[in-house]
Amino acid sequence: MKISSELTDETVLTELGRRLAQRRLDLQLTQAEVAEQAGISKRTLERIESGASVQLASLVRLLRILDDLSGLERLLPEAGPGPMDLLRRKGKLRQRAPRRSTREKQDEPWTWGDE
């Protein structure tokens, strides 16, 4: 299954869990072995493989044992400013997201804010 933005969160988690379980099986490791090596409980590993929500640290530990931690680099590569941004900002890195312009704000209908 291809993971896309049309899928629900639950479907994406289930697919990720299925892929992690398949990777573990490809390495011929049991759930108990992987859980012990990763320093997580076997139940946590079962939850990950079933698509349940878990702590991010548990996922990182699991990826390390499955030798897939570099996949995170491909997932979220380190982003840096482009050459034109550096020139415009005279070498200074951006610290905040820009504010929306007043023109964009005027396009929205006014509300009291308590709806």
Per-residue pLDDT tens for 34-79?
A: 999 999 999 999 999 999 999 999 999 999 999 998 888 888 877 7
Q: How far apart are CA 111 and CA 115, in angstroms?
A: 8
The pLDDT of residue 85: 76
Inter-residue contact 89 to 81 (CB < 8 Å): yes
Residue in 2, 19, 102 with CA at minimum distance from that of residue 59: 19
- Cα separation, 37 vs 29, whole angstroms: 11
pTM of model > 0.85:
no
CA distance 52 to 27: 22
